[in-house]
């Protein structure tokens, strides 16, 4: 069994040492907790080649049910080892125990079960064709795997977002090269161990570790990679799009967001305050779906803003293992610098700070970590940079609106289009407003409530394509039309 402190690539069923490693840093106290391999081009070639061999070998001979049964075993083994997954995810990200044990790890295992079950019933189409000249044919389609799929995943929900793509890709019969974020490679490494333990054939699942700037282009430009599915920043997505253009690979992109919450006069204010606090501060604001702009109707604005601010001030920040702690640190010092630069920009643009705006002081080792204060600001226009650019930290800007058309136009005034949460008890209002928002996902009186069968993705800078349910099965398969003449 490999030690967690040194993370190696997993290629063709073997954990292989690399010549270069870089430090894995715990964001709670800034301490080095291990070393992460930087894959060489040669190792990436090996991974791609082994994936192709597996594609033409044992993996392709397994029936859909055998394949999906094996993916259930992956989920079962993840559950058996869930304490290790929980500890590893907390050490890499500083997320709270509550979040990791209720969201990240269980949803990671659930992805394998859900997509394995969906893939069993993934069927083709059949048409009986009759031409005007009297010819007849039977047209049907069979779903083939795309081939070798590169899964490139981010640090904010490491295991959950990697498995959200690895699971349907494998269920559809593909072989996978997983490249997790360099900030959070530990649970991907544990996943490789699980694949090995349950007997996933060699080459079907490969883990390539390393920094995106070092190994990313080599993966996405590789002629042996048949498709790229990516979750991460919009800028990286733009870069990958250029990278894959040479070889015209199919892509699926889940990118950044600048998400709003709308609190109508008809909202249940208790639910809205709790819901907006959750959608702003969960995971220290590091969920692509988090709210960064809040629009509240003038008639309830004063009461709502006072209560939201009081809720934010009561958030317990601290050690991730403490069961009472809601949020831990940001993921890294670099990311904290970025978020703090937006706190400063907000000041420069003339924002009023209702709470937060700085770094908490603990007078212990956590002062060497990446903690930051939950922050609420107001007073900026929709066109200020702070209200246009994704910050990805525990901050929201609150502003007041007067009518429905006005707020819809203001919410849509962003280059992003991922998610919006609407708070209202008026059902007609919810049905009327939701389809007018230019996003991939609208929540009404809730947030982050997901069904793996539902389409997920963004518009504008927030992404290309949809995954989830039949949309995932469709991306990870290539339907082939077979036409048989009937005499
Ligand atoms: P990132 O784009 O910096 O990195 C994501 C992944 O891409 C990492 O594995 C990284 O190593 C890799 N990468 C970097 N450069 C690359 C290159 N040139 N070629 C190939 N791969 C490369 O994103 P991040 O900072 O890890 O994650 C935060 C971002 O992800 C935020 O913008 C957030 O909104 C977005 N996100 C979106 C969703 C969604 O579902 N839409 C979900 C989670 C996060």
Model confidence over 138-168: pLDDT tens digits? Answer: 999 999 999 999 999 999 999 999 999 999 9
Overall residue count recorded for the chain in this entry: 487
pLDDT confidence tier of residue 4, bands split at 50, 70 and 90: low
Query: Is the pLDDT at 2 greater than 80, yes or no?
Result: no
Q: What are the DSSP E strand ranges found in 195-290?
A: 205-207, 227-231, 251-254, 259-263
For residues 174-189, average pLDDT: 98
Catalytic residue among 288, 290, 370, 396: 288
* Ligand 1 contact via 393 beta carbon (within 6 Å): no
What DSSP string runs through 286-303? Answer: -STT-EEEEEEEHHHHHH
For residues 353-380, average pLDDT: 98
Contact indicator for 411, 397 with CB cutoff of 8 Å: no
pLDDT of residue 48: 98
User: Rounded to 5 degrees, what are φ and ψ at 263?
Assistant: -110, 105
* Ligand 1 contact via 481 beta carbon (within 6 Å): no
Nearest-CA residue for ligand 1 atom 30 is: 232
Q: Is there a catalytic annotation at residue 288?
A: yes
Query: Is the pLDDT at 173 greater than 80, yes or no?
Result: yes
For 186-204, write each residue's pLDDT tens digit. Answer: 999 999 999 999 999 999 9
Query: Is the pLDDT at 30 greater than 90, yes or no?
Result: yes
By most ligand atoms within 8 Å of CB, the mutation choice from 103, 233, 286 for ligand 1 is 233
Question: Are β-strands 205-207 and 136-145 bridged in parallel, bridged antiparallel, or unpaired?
Answer: unpaired
For 455-465, write each residue's pLDDT tens digit. Answer: 999 999 999 99
Left, alpha or beta for 249 (phi > 0: left; psi -120 to 50: alpha)? Answer: beta
pLDDT of residue 5: 84
User: Rounded to 5 degrees, what are φ and ψ at 421?
Assistant: -115, 130
Cα 449 to ligand 1 centre (Å): 22
* Ligand 1 contact via 288 beta carbon (within 6 Å): yes
d(CA 217, CA 414): 29
d(CA 303, CA 21): 53
By most ligand atoms within 8 Å of CB, the mutation choice from 154, 164, 334 for ligand 1 is 154
d(CA 272, CA 98): 22
For 64-97, write each residue's pLDDT tens digit. Answer: 999 999 999 999 999 999 999 999 999 999 999 9
For residues 372-389, average pLDDT: 98
pLDDT of residue 1: 41
Instruction: Give the angle 276-279-284 at the CA atoms, nearest 5°.
Output: 125
Which of 380, 360, 376 has its CA nearest to residue 368?
Answer: 360
For residues 380-407, average pLDDT: 98
Contact indicator for 208, 35 with CB cutoff of 8 Å: no
Query: Is the pLDDT at 170 greater than 80, yes or no?
Result: yes
* Ligand 1 contact via 181 beta carbon (within 6 Å): yes
Q: Which helix (H) or strand (E) element contains residue 464?
A: strand 463-464
Catalytic residue among 183, 254, 373, 478: 254
Contact indicator for 448, 282 with CB cutoff of 8 Å: yes
Cα 328 to ligand 1 centre (Å): 21
What DSSP string runs through 153-205? Answer: --SSSHHHHHHHHHHHHHHTT-EEEEE--TT--HHHHHHHHHHHHHTPPTTSE
pLDDT of residue 242: 97
Query: Is the pLDDT at 3 greater than 50, yes or no?
Result: no
For 222-278, write each residue's pLDDT tens digit. Answer: 999 999 999 999 999 999 999 999 999 999 999 999 999 999 999 999 999 999 999
User: Rounded to 5 degrees, what are φ and ψ at 179?
Assistant: -120, 95
Percent of the chain scoring above 90 in pLDDT: 99
What domains appear along the chain, each with residue ranges and CATH number? 6-255+462-486 (3.40.605.10), 259-451 (3.40.309.10)
């Amino acid at each position: 069994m490999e030690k967690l402190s040194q993370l190696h690539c997993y290629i063709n069923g073997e954990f292989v040492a690399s010549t270069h490693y870089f430090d894995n840093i715990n964001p709670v106290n800034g301490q080095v907790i291990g070393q992460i391999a930087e894959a060489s081009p040669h190792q990436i070639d090996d991974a791609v080649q082994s994936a192709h061999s597996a594609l033409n070998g044992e993996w392709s001979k397994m029936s859909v049910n055998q394949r999906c049964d094996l993916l259930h075993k992956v989920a079962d083994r993840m559950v058996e080892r869930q304490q290790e997954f929980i500890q590893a995810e907390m050490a890499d990200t500083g997320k709270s125990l509550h979040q990791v044990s209720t969201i990240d790890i269980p949803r990671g295992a659930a992805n394998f079960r859900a997509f394995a079950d969906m893939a069993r019933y993934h069927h083709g189409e059949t048409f009986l064709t009759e031409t005007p000249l009297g010819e007849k044919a039977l047209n049907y389609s069979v779903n083939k795997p795309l081939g070798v799929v590169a899964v490139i995943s981010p640090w904010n929900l490491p295991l959950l977002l990697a498995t959200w793509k690895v699971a349907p890709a494998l269920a559809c019969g593909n072989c996978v090269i997983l490249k997790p974020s360099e900030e959070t490679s530990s649970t991907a490494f544990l996943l490789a161990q699980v694949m090995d333990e349950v007997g996933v054939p060699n080459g079907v699942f490969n883990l390539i570790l390393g920094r995106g700037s070092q190994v990313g282009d080599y993966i996405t430009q590789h002629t042996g990679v048949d498709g790229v599915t990516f979750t991460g920043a919009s800028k990286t997505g733009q870069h990958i799009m250029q990278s894959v253009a040479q070889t015209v690979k199919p892509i699926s992109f889940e990118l950044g967001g600048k998400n709003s919450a709308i609190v109508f006069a008809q909202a249940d204010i208790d639910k809205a305050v709790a819901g907006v606090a959750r959608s702003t501060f969960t995971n220290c604001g590091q969920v692509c779906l988090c709210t960064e702009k809040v629009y509240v109707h003038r008639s309830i604005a004063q009461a709502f803003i006072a209560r939201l601010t009081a809720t934010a001030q009561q958030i317990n920040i601290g050690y991730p293992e403490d069961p009472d702690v809601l949020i831990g640190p940001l993921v890294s010092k670099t990311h904290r610098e970025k978020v703090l630069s937006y706190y400063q920009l907000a000041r420069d643009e003339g924002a009023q700070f209702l709470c937060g705006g700085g770094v908490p002081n603990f007078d212990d080792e956590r002062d060497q970590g990446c903690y930051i204060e939950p922050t609420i600001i107001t007073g900026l226009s929709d066109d200020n940079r702070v209200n246009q650019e994704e910050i990805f930290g525990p901050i929201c800007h609150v502003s007041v609106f007067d009518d429905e058309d006005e707020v819809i136009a203001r919410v849509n005034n962003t280059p992003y289009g991922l998610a919006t949460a609407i708070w209202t008890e008026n059902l007609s209002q919810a049905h009327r407003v939701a389809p007018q928002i230019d996003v991939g996902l609208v929540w009404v009186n809730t947030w982050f409530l997901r069904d793996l069968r539902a389409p997920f993705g963004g518009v504008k800078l927030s992404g290309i394509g949809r995954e989830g349910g039949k949309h995932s099965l469709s991306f990870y398969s290539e339907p082939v039309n077979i036409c048989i003449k009937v005499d």
